[in-house]
Structure 1
Amino acid sequence: MRTRSRTAMFAATAVLLLCGAAASAAQPMAAAPAVAKPQKTLKILTPEQVDPARLLPPPPEDGSSIQKADLAEVQRVYRTRTPERYERAKWDDTHEDSMLFASTLGPNFDLAKLPQTAKLLAVIENDQSVAANMAKRQFLRNRPWAIDPSIVACDYKPNAAPKTSYPSGHATLSYSVGIVLADLIPEKSQAILARAAEYAYSREVCGAHYASDTEASHVLGTVVALQFLSSPKAAPMIEAARHELRVARLTGANTVATAAMR
């Protein structure tokens, strides 16, 4: 089986409608509008380090021969998936965080008991999400289901934005976090990276993304991870997490040996 490689809005100002006492008695109070979530910003990396125009080629244009071949492959994977693989893809769809590696790393990988590791991974999750959304806005590629309405993606919603295909946010997460975890826990690096690729492939099984979307995520996620691992700003968090993982017996690698590999 081939294994390859969402967006916050600007915070809105809520307006509370004030009614006079007499009007309040005669009419029900108008509900205040919901406040949008604050927009995420990069915490460690810089916009230049994750500039999608510099890192990624544009996706195939709709209607091109390459795009048609890309779509045909999504259709093939979508229509020939087994019930078991579809269930795994649905699980992956609804678990978009670092705990996607829990089954690979075992019961000791409990972020509730690993605060330093949880802190580190939360920052990686943030920066990769910002990077992926920068790329989505740059390229505005239609999702497979926007081209072929017979495809109903795992995460499809009637009001979903169609031009959010390239790259995959889920896959960017799995590759960026996976590469960092592989560096922190080198004994399980191959299993971690295999899980990252399997999780990315679930986006194709779901009919949510093209293979070229997950390939772009592999590139972007790798850049995010390597830039993060080499960042002086991230170094204290990385070493704290590395120590914590050794204490939890999730790795026996020492700091000097692992750092020498980079």
Structure 2
Amino acid sequence: MRRFSASLVFIIITALSVVSAPTHAKGAEPFISAKEIDLAKLLPPPPASESSQTKAELGEILTVQVTRTPEMVARAQADAVENIGRFSDILGPRFNVENLPKFSAFFARVVSSEGAVVDAPKKFWQRPRPYLASDLVKPVVKMTASGSYPSGHATAGTLMGIVLANMVPEKRSEIMLRAREYAHNRIVAGVHYPSDIEAGRIAGTLIAANLMTREDFNAEFATARAELRKELGLTDDKLKKEK
């Protein structure tokens, strides 16, 4: 198992910057930024590179790697995008983001908020990705130049899941399970440690809680929710009866 020196890690990360960039919603204005949620003060620091925890987590990644099926790989690759459309298998065939312009624009801002908050702590901690710690790790998605901790995808998946579940509480359990799978698929893909994922889930929850206190968010949420529920054939009267 090969360990890279700090200088070599820096060189590799710099070179990877031309390979791929974070897949945040381009052009969408975030609701909040790192100035309002400073994750460097709210999250514990990531495990040190040579710590027993990091070594154990690397072992978990390698175990997943040798047991992942072609179907798991395909799912992880499809989940590489940060897009609310990845929840389509939960909401059914009537869910088509192309038919939901207000809903789509709203979630573009939600996803953009993840990047606006998470990019700063990634740069602050600069945790090297698992494939930089060991050449035994074989990623199945594009490698990225960003830090590993916290996971932006886990943050985005948790955030999208919470917001979507509040729109369609009839499917809350299924939506949150899908959000959890979405985050875990970053381990399947070989690009994150388990502690990155856990921190991302905490970050996504913190961002969601903050957004729900904002008037601009709640106004757009109500409009997007109404559009979605109409498209899905759901009514609030039906929801009240089920409660």
Tell me if TM exceeds 0.5.
yes
Alignment of 1:227 with 2:210, yes or no, is yes
- What is the CA-CA distance between 1:199 and the residue it aligns to? 0.8
Q: Distance in 2 between matches of 1:144 and 1:171?
A: 16
Q: Report the count of equivalent residues.
A: 215
Tell me which moved more, 113-122 or 240-249: 240-249
Corresponding position of 2:125:
139
- The alpha carbon displacement at 1:46 in A equals 4.1
Maintained 8 Å contact 2:159/2:207: yes
Q: Find the counterpart in structure 2 of residue 104 from structure 1.
A: 90
CA pair 114-67 structure 1, distance change in 2 beyond 3 A: same
Amino acid at match of 2:124: Q
TM (normalized to structure 2)? 0.81
2:83–2:111 contact (8 Å) kept in structure 1: yes
CA shift for structure 1 position 194: 0.5
Correspondence for 1:4 = none
The separation in 1 between residues aligned to 2:229 and 2:29, in whole angstroms, is 28
Is the Cα contact below 8 Å between 1:42 and 1:130 reproduced in 2?
A: no
| Equivalent position to 2:74, from 87, 90, 111 | 87
TM-score normalised to structure 1 length: 0.76
Q: Are the aligned partners of 1:166 and 1:213 in contact in 2 as well (CA < 8 Å)?
A: yes
Q: Which residue of 139, 143, 149 corresponds with 2:135? A: 149
Tell whether 2:199 aligns with 1:216.
yes
Of the three residues 78, 83, 88, the one matched with 2:65 is 78
Contact 2:95 2:232 in 1 (8 A): no
Structure-to-structure mapping, 1:113-262, within 5 angstroms: 113-157=99-143, 160-161=144-145, 164-249=147-232, 251-253=234-236
| Contact 1:185/1:253 (8 A) holds in 2 | no
Q: Percent identity?
A: 36
Deviation at 1:43, TM superposition (A): 3.0
Cα distance in 1 for residues equivalent to 2:37 and 2:113: 9
The gaps in structure 2 that reach 5 residues or longer are 1-25
Question: Residue type matched to 2:217 in 1?
Answer: A
Cα separation, 1, equivalents of 2:69 and 2:76: 11
| Distance across 2 between alignment mates of 1:242 and 1:212 | 33
Out of 118-127 and 223-232, give the one that drifted further.
223-232
Q: Whole-Å Cα distance in 2 between the matches of residues 190 and 126 of structure 1?
A: 25
The alignment partner of 2:49 has SS state of coil
Determine the C-alpha separation between the residues in 2 that align with 1:40 and 1:63. Answer: 39
| Contact kept in structure 1, 2:154 and 2:182, CA below 8 Å | yes
Q: Which runs of 5+ in 1 are unaligned?
A: 1-38, 258-262
Q: Which has the higher helix share?
A: 2
The residue type equivalent to 1:201 in the other structure is: H
Within 2, Cα distance between the matches of 1:180 and 1:58? 27
Q: Which residue of 1 aligns with 2:39?
A: 52
Amino acid at match of 2:141: D
